[in-house]
Structure 1
């Protein structure tokens, strides 16, 4: 578990770089980590996730300008979410799945999925933009992970699992694009961005048809509550756009962790007979 935490924190550090540089069309690998204000390189011991920021007391060693607290928060969040991937498949329990290959594929898939979702969330919050390269990588990796699970699963030898996820990916893309076009026709502006449709395609690739439906349900409900609260408090003006990608990402991750059946049972219990 400690290896997952450490690796997740290191990946979180790289995610911070991606979220900062990708919208600015800068290389995410060169040059190395540096202060965006003075340009001085960050020393290796100052670049240790969370600990480096704490040792510097949140300020650049060279220019003494503040370093946003978001950096260690993202690193810690990434570490925690990597650990939740192991919890979701039972690696923390006394016994794990008898199908070790499938268990490892699911673990690797989980940490890869969350490592793609976090930068999408950060960039959408900052720029109202969901980068297509990350969404495309998410679709491809989701289908590959599904194919591997199907290949090693005794219950899915006919390819139906992969077909389900392929269909869900196409459905997520087409349905959200259609809804956005319909809203533009009715109210004069798109209700959703094209990036949201591509993120929905990624959701379908990872979760399948049932999972896609539940994830989008979670996203719509949570997004609507956020929008209503924003209007009531005055933080959102009429027709002011706000990022919907984070709500889709939360829906994807919650369904990945618990499964669509669990969420559906909770919904049935909530609404009653």
Structure 2
């Protein structure tokens, strides 16, 4: 493992620890900064050496040092997931135009961090916070503007494409939600899903967000069908679609939409 990968691994694990805090506190409208990390059961502050990502949980055997509360294994798993996804940015394609490696990695870690926290909150609360989605749109457009400024390959058209993609994705998913509500009597999608798709459009452009939504629909259909057939999900019971959109966005950011279009054509035998 080279120095860059190790740095991303360690930093990603620390950020993953913070994302656990954000996912717990933000839906409860608590400050994500103060007070410091503490046990949700007894309220005692977590000692610094117990707060080391992954290792702290292992040293404590998954129990609070003060009250013995069982610390969910989700905490170290999120730290490991964040660290792993931060490392994948090393090989990310990002935009369709060639960019310096550092710009792509920095953009990737911002994007994947936002996607992780949105996914966690949606899984827990069926809610995609609008401020986080808005931050994702703004950061995506800033990243696109930076890409446009460092390349001579249609920089202005690149920014326009991503602006149009954000708007189109928002309107398309809001439209689908409205149609679903008329047909089913309840929204087929949450409005947060539309805002997350707009965020993806800001980062990926028109072609990229289209591929992302296709991947999300496919993944959601497969997992949703399995959940309903197994009885884990009722016939009209809602389930979070945001994680599928987030996964689609990240897969396209990693490999690029041309690669995914090629896979689709190969699947069709072309």
Q: For the Cα contact (< 8 Å) 1:89–1:107, is it kept in 2?
A: no
Counterpart mapping for 1:12-161 below 5 A: 12-89=16-93, 102-157=100-155, 159-161=156-158
How much has 1:101 moved relative to structure 2?
6.5
DSSP 3-state at the match of 1:240: coil
Per-residue deviation, residues 59-103 of structure 1 (Å, max 9, x unmatched)? 00010111000000000100000000012259xxxxxxxx99732
**In the aligned structure 2, how far is the partner of 1:121 from the partner of 1:257?**
18
* Aligned twin of 1:174: 171
Distance in 2 (alpha carbons) for counterparts of 1:219 and 1:193? 14
What's the Cα RMSD here?
1.4
**Are 1:270 and 2:242 counterparts?**
no
TM-score of the superposed pair, with normalisation by structure 1: 0.94
Instruction: Tell me the distance in 1 between the aligned counterparts of 2:249 and 2:92.
Output: 14
Name 1:245's counterpart in structure 2: 242
Residue matched to 2:193 = 196
**C-alpha separation in 1, matches of 2:185 and 2:93:** 45
Q: Normalising by the residue count of structure 2, what TM-score does the alignment of the two structures yield?
A: 0.95
Unpaired runs of 5+ residues, structure 2, are none
Instruction: Tell me, yes or no, if structure 1 residue 261 matches structure 2 residue 262.
Output: no
Q: Identify which of structures 1 and 2 has the higher relative contact order when contacts are C-alpha pairs closer than 8 Å and 6+ apart.
A: 2
Assess if the C-alpha contact under 8 Å between 2:99 and 2:151 holds in 1. Answer: no
Structure 1, unpaired ranges of 5+:
91-98
